[in-house]
Amino acid sequence: MSSQTKFLLDESRMPTHWYNIAADLPVALPPVLHPGTMQPVGPDDLAPLFPMELILQEVSTEREIPIPEPVRDVFRLWRPSPLYRAHRLEKALGTPAKIYYKYEGVSPAGSHKPNTAVPQAWYNAQAGVKKLTTETGAGQWGTSLAFAGSLFGLEVKVFQVRVSYDQKPYRRAVMETYGATCIASPSSETNSGRAILAKRPDHPGSLGIAISEAVEIAATNDDTKYALGSVLNHVLLHQTIVGQEAMMQMEMAGDDPDVIVGCTGGGSNFAGISFPFIGQQLRGGKKRRIVAVEPAACPSLTRGKYAYDFGDTAHLTPLTKMHTLGSTFTPPGFHAGGLRYHGMAPLVSHLKELDLIEATAYHQVGCFEAGVLFARSEGIVPAPEANHAVKGAIEEALRCKREGKADVILFNLCGHGHFDMAAYQNYFAGKLTDASYSEEELAMALSGLPSVPA
């Protein structure tokens, strides 16, 4: 028990290895399949898209994977990140629960995304790659890869979903400040983009389409690779530095979390905070409740089907088994752009199937309400994505109040909302509504899942 607010690790205690949960899984992850042969893909199948070091991380079952020293050197710009006890929020809620949050908004990009952008850029640079392509929706990932690329001399080309490109020019300006090139997607630079534009010249774009374009460019250019900001095993691996630090900081605080909460879009920040704790449990340690919070308007974990599906719209990616709403599902517009993805990380999906995690979904207005309460009590304005984790943590704290329990709650505040004030502006103007999809559309998208031989 402590009256302290902030828990900082000395730089000397910054983790030297990533934690790989594959080493501790009671059941191995289903294989990734080649969509042509329906056979498991091998490293060579992925080589056009990723450097070999990242491919090896994707399939590794080593528990600890060393973080290269040049990557740790960049991490020192903002890591170890702080852990806070939310004394003021607890007081505002009148809860006996103790609430802690790990804050990843201290990175130069303002979110957890540089935790994987930096190693991805570094491994590519080491492999002699000159250019990286990627997609971005809200812009957090594109910003982070642009930042990382600038540090290691890589050209970064970002396919930005057309509607974001037009409506969020400031995000583009950040990427350009870091030296990246932004292209509105669908674009005329790729076959997949041109095919969509031919049907509908004013297409607003989607994350699935932008992924197709970025993958196509990487697959067809020798000096170019592709980088993804979530979903894949190696991306989730890179985020485990968050949970490892949090574990040491909770020890400093003299508390041990009973409940861990994270928001989930592709699953990376949730994995980052929770996997090291889940691993501890899998090796015989304390059993904790691990709660994934997703947007009710794009609820892959709570409403999706656990099945093999494509990661993109043009079906250029391999097939992975995951909770999916169907690769043709178009989530309605809402403000947590970073959570608008049809699928969930295979590792997170697998843990859900193994009953090692729980999932819940909230609509956006309630999440913004939670975010504003958080800002007014704790002083940090959360990103719309992070508001889902805030909402989840507050609901747990209110449950503790009802039950008279003093649970220790830990959540990941994965980014600040400084780039998202238009969303708050809409919230205060009463213009924000709880966007939702039609059941017919979801059923239609799910009916189109690829059939995979048993």
Q: Which residues would be at the binding site for its own copies (CB under 8 A)?
A: 5-6, 8, 11, 73-74, 76-77, 84, 88, 106, 108, 110, 147, 150-151, 169-174, 176-179, 372, 375-377, 379-381, 417-419, 421-422, 424-425, 428
Q: Which residues pair with 64 in a beta bridge?
A: 19
We find the least distance from the C-beta atom of residue 107 to its own copies, in angstroms, to be 9
We find the least distance from the C-beta atom of residue 196 to its own copies, in angstroms, to be 27
Of the pair 35, 179, the CB lying nearest its own copies is at 179
Beta strands in 304-414 (DSSP E): 305-310, 319-324, 358-362, 408-413
Of the pair 179, 366, the CB lying nearest its own copies is at 179
**Residue for token digits 């992070």?**
386
Of the pair 198, 422, the CB lying nearest its own copies is at 422
We find the least distance from the C-beta atom of residue 426 to its own copies, in angstroms, to be 9
Residue 205 region, left (φ>0) first, then alpha (ψ -120 to 50), else beta?
A: left
Of the pair 171, 288, the CB lying nearest its own copies is at 171
Of the pair 56, 373, the CB lying nearest its own copies is at 373
Of the pair 287, 418, the CB lying nearest its own copies is at 418
CB 105 within 8 A of CB 377: no
Q: How far apart are CA 396 and CA 292, in angstroms?
A: 12
Q: How far apart are CA 56 and CA 50, in angstroms?
A: 10
We find the least distance from the C-beta atom of residue 60 to its own copies, in angstroms, to be 29
We find the least distance from the C-beta atom of residue 423 to its own copies, in angstroms, to be 8
Q: How far apart are CA 241 and CA 75, in angstroms?
A: 10
Q: How far apart are CA 125 and CA 434, in angstroms?
A: 43
Q: 217-248 b/e with 16+ CB inside 10 Å = b?
A: bbeeeeebbbbbbbbbbbbbbbbbbbbbbbbb
Of the pair 117, 351, the CB lying nearest its own copies is at 117
CB 100 within 8 A of CB 408: yes
We find the least distance from the C-beta atom of residue 173 to its own copies, in angstroms, to be 4
Type of residue numbered 357: I
We find the least distance from the C-beta atom of residue 148 to its own copies, in angstroms, to be 9
We find the least distance from the C-beta atom of residue 55 to its own copies, in angstroms, to be 27
Of the pair 105, 311, the CB lying nearest its own copies is at 105
Return the ∠ at Cα 148 (arms to 142 and 153), rounded to 5°: 115
CB 345 within 8 A of CB 240: no
